[in-house]
Structure 1
């Protein structure tokens, strides 16, 4: 009965059935959060864990059927590693190796030439959760003085139970599309600690509805505009026959509207986390904060003219996970650039085995380096600083935004087209303009600095 209804619904919406199932499942998270608030908040932790496990498994089965077994295998293996190997480096390395190899094998055996909603989608979220769990458990062996402030919040001092681990992994607010959160945060949720009213369910209905409303607006924008900018158009003779400026404009608009697919899912999912209480983040300046599970800073995403600003506003929890568990743990390398490159390479492989992911993240690295050099040049040059603060700023801002979104789309082309022959066709048609632009900027930046920044002025800036 459900299948024909879903088929009709997907046809009326003009969306693939897997996408409709995913959206319905994310929305069901709000219903689950309401059940938890009204009927289970004062129940024992065992009952709450069971509810999270059952609801999460039901949502997983609804979307992926018997393929849900892949997640259960990885959760059980991870639990056994915690119990049998203890708080050891061997356990951490074993966890990382097993979970990543399982995910990569899934990518290999399910790979197609387009983006599909399949079991590997939530599994990549689960992979980070389980690797993070092993690292947090390992940190629990250390003295508090040896831990950073982040590690103190997430370190596990006791062995979690199987039910606890399953509840953490299958929690309805984060199982399908994220966000990432720690087991300690989940434990605080189940204990009733994540609330602005001690001992009572949180007053989070309005904050949750605000995120839902914002996510719904983004979903509508995606549904209305993205059909005009399909990925498949890149591979047509018609696209290649268009003028150069048109091809670039298409990339810019394609990226702008296409990213709303991710924005809408993350923001709507965040709303269910806020409703349950998991989004509670304490009090700042006398106001209760509900952004602990924020995966998007939508205002920053829409207004920043900087690539660094977009990265800071997009997929926040995954980036924070990578910073905490990869970048900062590579401190022993003694080189921030090497740590940065390694972190980006890990994220590229985590996304999948296609060459497009590696190219996308390598482009991100180049762009961020050039942007930081450009910012330092403007800051250290009195002439450029004066120009940036002049009446020309609105015009400069518009130009920055055009460059920002054009090359954001340029970087995302291989990310979305995956295969070498597909993204190479597109890049060739626009003459690799992104690589030419940023490599040229990288090469001439030292000469611009020599011409525009005097050593005396630079030393004065440093002293200030």
Structure 2
């Protein structure tokens, strides 16, 4: 009788567990549907906002507690977030963290350990991309894993630097070099920190350990006075979230693939791409602002004091919002967007290629690394190739205007400044949208079609007659177009910036006088 009763109790408990799970799934599905979002996106947003109550708990009960308790808290909460979003697939992060710890311990502070880390962590990430890739943007375990990959590579490089002579390191390397030997619990806490596990930002092990030791506070010996700065970033993130939620049904990348888009006039397609290129970045801005607020609330965002003695909370800032919204330059957008990831690439990749003796080559390889880190789709390569090209051309143009007396005087006319700004912003966001098209549409059959649609009317007469008269879409007619025509007709951004790349040096030679002439003129 007892065993039967126990069996009944077990059955009821199991049924209750299944029903509770089903109710949770149903509720999330319904809520996501009502919001016009996917369930995975809703889980991501919930997880990001959960960082705030977790940060409050950390401040209230753990800030000055023993380090092992803090590491355990960060590890447990990070694993819980991983399970909530990706279920049993959290084993990918566990495996890579465990193996990275073994690499550090078994290989020590050696070049072999650094190269092994780079190869293994990137290979694991790329394999994940390969086996999970679809033609759409999916929220899956590879999303936080790309953040983790950079963390673990940075950890290996900093550990390697920690074994070098201090005098052989730059001031930046000295700041991040790890002198001690991290324990497995420290590596896990660093990796799973709930404020940055899903979408970043990047931070170093040394900075994390300062948080654990209670050093990241503007009031020594007390909990950081960071509530107001954190709420400011949260509020700004909510503004972007509301804006993105309201506009997302009306401005989508899917519309770029429709016949309706292609049937509109050329100017309309350009304007739509310009607006979409600006708007599509808001989802990233939202996530980074919200997570930055979490980091500030814990104290991780503390970066010291300014000249006036005011506390700064930008150590984990991934966005410079004012610069992002107002800059008319591509380099300004790059400097304001995904700041910590860009800083990571500069610190652990670009500057480590100094031995090549070629800044442009180092920059190109860094952008190639970034493209592969984002994924295996061709759209990523096209986007970062465009960034490389645009930055070079923009620097050439800025140098020309600055060094040419005629252009410099023309650019300094006050009454024309608003007009210049409008033209710059138009070019800036049109070609940002052009670059982001490939980034967001992933596969060549999609972004190639959009590029063709954008220039069809400009270059339609250059198409072979068989292609122009064909009822088939371009994606089925590409075989009729030669590679040269493909490059010069269908890619507006490439044509524009490649032309400037070759033309500007001659313009510079013609409009910038030699130093001897400048001396005579002076």
Q: Answer yes or no: same fold by TM over 0.5.
A: yes
Q: CA deviation at 1:227?
A: 1.8
| Structure 2 equivalent of residue 408 of structure 1 | 432
| C-alpha distance in structure 2 between counterparts of 1:458 and 1:427, whole Å | 45
Q: Does 1:373 align with 2:396?
A: yes
| C-alpha distance in structure 1 between counterparts of 2:375 and 2:417, whole Å | 40
| Structure 2 equivalent of residue 106 of structure 1 | 128
Unaligned runs of 5+ in 2: 1-22, 456-490
| Structure 2 equivalent of residue 453 of structure 1 | 512
| Structure 2 equivalent of residue 121 of structure 1 | 143
| C-alpha distance in structure 1 between counterparts of 2:116 and 2:137, whole Å | 30
Q: CA deviation at 1:241?
A: 1.2
Aligned residue for 2:249, secondary structure, equals helix
Contact kept in structure 2, 1:221 and 1:257, CA below 8 Å: no
Q: Does 1:4 align with 2:32?
A: no
The C-alpha deviation readout for 1:9-47, integer Å capped at 9, x for no partner, is 112211111111111101001111100000111210011
Q: Does 1:143 align with 2:165?
A: yes
| Structure 1 equivalent of residue 333 of structure 2 | 310
The C-alpha deviation readout for 1:331-352, integer Å capped at 9, x for no partner, is 0111111101110000000000
| Structure 1 equivalent of residue 495 of structure 2 | 436
Aligned residue for 2:181, secondary structure, equals coil
Aligned residue for 2:376, secondary structure, equals coil
Aligned residue for 1:227, secondary structure, equals coil
Q: CA deviation at 1:456?
A: 2.7
Contact kept in structure 1, 2:274 and 2:431, CA below 8 Å: yes
Higher mean C-alpha deviation, range 237-246 or range 340-349 = 237-246
Contact kept in structure 2, 1:81 and 1:95, CA below 8 Å: yes
| Structure 1 equivalent of residue 363 of structure 2 | 340
Aligned residue for 2:64, secondary structure, equals coil
Aligned residue for 2:113, secondary structure, equals helix
The C-alpha deviation readout for 1:413-448, integer Å capped at 9, x for no partner, is 111111111111011112221111111111210221
Higher mean C-alpha deviation, range 3-12 or range 133-142 = 3-12
The C-alpha deviation readout for 1:344-378, integer Å capped at 9, x for no partner, is 00000000001111111111111000000000011
| Structure 1 equivalent of residue 481 of structure 2 | none
Q: CA deviation at 1:2?
A: 2.1
Higher mean C-alpha deviation, range 414-423 or range 162-171 = 414-423
Aligned residue for 1:15, secondary structure, equals coil
| C-alpha distance in structure 1 between counterparts of 2:244 and 2:136, whole Å | 18
| Structure 2 equivalent of residue 40 of structure 1 | 62
Q: Does 1:417 align with 2:476?
A: no
| Structure 1 equivalent of residue 346 of structure 2 | 323
| C-alpha distance in structure 1 between counterparts of 2:223 and 2:342, whole Å | 30
Aligned CA-pair RMSD = 1.2
Q: CA deviation at 1:226?
A: 2.3
Contact kept in structure 2, 1:380 and 1:458, CA below 8 Å: no
Contact kept in structure 2, 1:194 and 1:202, CA below 8 Å: yes
| Structure 2 equivalent of residue 198 of structure 1 | 220
| Structure 2 equivalent of residue 186 of structure 1 | 208
| C-alpha distance in structure 2 between counterparts of 1:411 and 1:233, whole Å | 16
Higher mean C-alpha deviation, range 258-267 or range 6-15 = 6-15
| C-alpha distance in structure 2 between counterparts of 1:156 and 1:310, whole Å | 32
Q: CA deviation at 1:48?
A: 0.6
Unaligned runs of 5+ in 1: none
Q: Does 1:397 align with 2:433?
A: no
Pick the structure with greater CA Rg. 2
Contact kept in structure 1, 2:64 and 2:213, CA below 8 Å: no
Aligned residue for 2:328, secondary structure, equals coil
| C-alpha distance in structure 1 between counterparts of 2:438 and 2:238, whole Å | 28
- The 3 A distance-change label for structure 1 pair 67 and 458 is farther
| Structure 2 equivalent of residue 207 of structure 1 | 229
| Structure 1 equivalent of residue 18 of structure 2 | none
| Structure 1 equivalent of residue 155 of structure 2 | 133
Matches within 5 A, 1:1-400: 1-285=23-307, 286-390=309-413, 391-400=415-424
| C-alpha distance in structure 1 between counterparts of 2:428 and 2:517, whole Å | 27
| C-alpha distance in structure 1 between counterparts of 2:139 and 2:104, whole Å | 31
- The 3 A distance-change label for structure 1 pair 194 and 241 is same
TM (norm. structure 2) is 0.87
| C-alpha distance in structure 1 between counterparts of 2:315 and 2:88, whole Å | 32
- The 3 A distance-change label for structure 1 pair 237 and 457 is farther
- The 3 A distance-change label for structure 1 pair 231 and 457 is farther
| C-alpha distance in structure 2 between counterparts of 1:458 and 1:398, whole Å | 34
Aligned residue for 2:50, secondary structure, equals helix
TM (norm. structure 1) is 0.98
| C-alpha distance in structure 2 between counterparts of 1:387 and 1:379, whole Å | 11
